[in-house]
Amino acid sequence: MKRKYLNELKEKLVSYQASKKDMDDILADYDQLYEDALASGKTDEEVWQMLGNPDEIVDELRDTLQQKKEKNIKTKIIAVMPFISLIVFFFLGFYQGLWHPGWMVFLSIPMTAILLQTRLKDGLVALMPFLSVIIFLILGWGYGLWNPGWMVFLSIPVVAILLNTNMKDIPVAISPFVAVIAFMILGFYYDLWNPGWLVFLIIPMLGILHEKNIVKLVIYELSFVIAIGF
Amino acid sequence: MNTQFKKGILEMCILAIISKRDMYGFEVIDSLAKEIDVNENTVYPILRRLTGQGLFETYMEQTNIGAPRKYYRMTHLGKEKLEAYETEWRSFLTGVFKILGGNNEA
């Protein structure tokens, strides 16, 4: 519980871009406060209540914290991105005649903010909609692959699932997307809409694998196998 | 009661209890909570701010169990600040008691 509390506090301090020195100092102090509170006979819940919510703590500590210098640089880069994008857009338009797809440079404004303001994992999830749009448009305009190019949008939830789900739950979580992709490929390229729809049965079949009772598991799975065979 | 006003009083109380003897963080919170109804999670941020303002200095002292503890000791500047607070507070209370018509001894 103490580790969890300190980790939450650390996360809040990191997101506030507190300097390393301040962070180390505060975390050491809270570590000690937590230990002393436990030693006084308080329960973990009472200690959490006494020390307070990490969000509120960082709010209270704001005027005692020094922020990392790099935050200022990052903020400046984000602030100038609209101007840089506009200059690049005009350059591409006037000198290269690339008004279209030159407008896509404006996507760099939110993408830069995401890259500079979020942690790697959250940043990747947040960037996926933009990357999907870019890839979709390239596939569409460049190669005429609007269909099945739209399937790149499935990468948005898939990436979020892959980065935020426990390893053992990943197969079940991504199975609906895999099934959709497999179904579309079977349909579009091999005209196997029927019996291609059977791939959707993989979703409950994978879900059932979580059943602990082996007899039930075999019965459930067999019922699907029989249904497919029939 | 106004939050800022409460924080001001809390600052004075923290200065007052550490002026009596050096204390570690939890001891400060515990001592305050025994005497007054205080939002305990605001104490550490105030301690840290007052330390940053030079009203306290800190030092580590080894304990029998676990890691060494950080103690807070009042500085000369802290003593001056406490005196200023006390004067201001007593004068304020005297005025309040006069208005209420009760005992004007603060």
Is the per-residue pLDDT at A91 higher than 90? Answer: yes
Which residue(s) pair with B57 in the sheet?
B73
B54-105 per-position pLDDT tens digit = 999 999 988 776 778 899 999 999 999 999 999 999 998 899 888 988 655 5
Task: Give the integer Cα–Cα distance in Å for A218 and A230.
Answer: 18
Nearest-CA residue of chain B relative to A56?
A: B41
* B97 within domain boundaries: no
Position A12 confidence tier, pLDDT thresholds 50, 70, 90: confident
Question: Is A29 in contact with B65 (Cβ distance < 8 A)?
Answer: no
* B36 within domain boundaries: yes
Nearest-CA residue of chain B relative to A53?
A: B41
- Predicted pLDDT of residue A70: 61
Nearest-CA residue of chain B relative to A48?
A: B41
Task: Give the integer Cα–Cα distance in Å for A161 and A67.
Answer: 32
Nearest-CA residue of chain A relative to B71?
A: A29
* B42 within domain boundaries: yes
Chain B residues with CB-CB distance to A29 below 8 A: 25, 44, 48, 70
Which residue of A32, A35, A51 is the best one to mutate when testing the B interface, meaning the one whose CB has the most B CBs within 10 A? A32
A129-153 per-position pLDDT tens digit = 999 999 999 899 889 989 888 989 9
Residue ranges covered by each domain of chain A:
2-64, 69-117
* B84 within domain boundaries: no
Q: 3-state DSSP call for residue A43?
A: coil
Question: Is B48 in contact with A39 (Cβ distance < 8 A)?
Answer: no
* B45 within domain boundaries: yes
Is the per-residue pLDDT at B36 higher than 60? Answer: yes
A25 CA: distance to closest CA in chain B (Å) = 10
A149-201 per-position pLDDT tens digit = 898 999 999 999 888 888 888 888 889 999 998 998 899 889 999 888 989 98
Query: Which residue of A33, A52, A56 is in closest CB contact with B26?
Result: A33
- CA–CA distances in Å: residue B83 to residues A182, B13, B49, B71: 78, 12, 18, 22
* B63 within domain boundaries: yes
* B51 within domain boundaries: yes
Question: Is A64 in contact with B44 (Cβ distance < 8 A)?
Answer: no
A50 CA: distance to closest CA in chain B (Å) = 6
What is the DSSP annotation of A77-114? HHHHHHHHHHHHHHIIIIIH--HHHHGGGGGHHHHHHH
Which residues from B are below 8 Å from A when comparing CB atoms? 24-27, 29-30, 40-42, 44-45, 48-49, 52, 65-67, 69-70
Looking at residue B52, which CATH number applies to its domain?
1.10.10.10
A93-133 per-position pLDDT tens digit = 999 898 988 898 999 999 998 888 787 788 889 999 999 99
Task: Give the integer Cα–Cα distance in Å for A205 and A200.
Answer: 9
> For residues A33 and A51, is the Cβ–Cβ distance under 8 A?
yes
Backbone angles phi, psi at A163, to 5 degrees: -90, -15
The DSSP letter of residue A201 is G
> For residues A69 and A42, is the Cβ–Cβ distance under 8 A?
no
Q: How many domains does chain B have?
A: 1
Is the per-residue pLDDT at A229 higher than 90? Answer: no
In three-state form (DSSP H/G/I as H, E/B as E, the rest C), the secondary structure along A117-133 is HCCHHHHHHHHHHHHHH
> Which among A161, A106, A165 is positioned nearest to A130, based on CA atoms?
A106
Question: Is A52 in contact with B42 (Cβ distance < 8 A)?
Answer: yes
Size of interface A-B (CB pairs under 8 A): 54
Question: Is A52 in contact with B40 (Cβ distance < 8 A)?
Answer: yes
For residue B16, the enclosing domain spans 3-75
- ipTM (interface pTM): 0.84
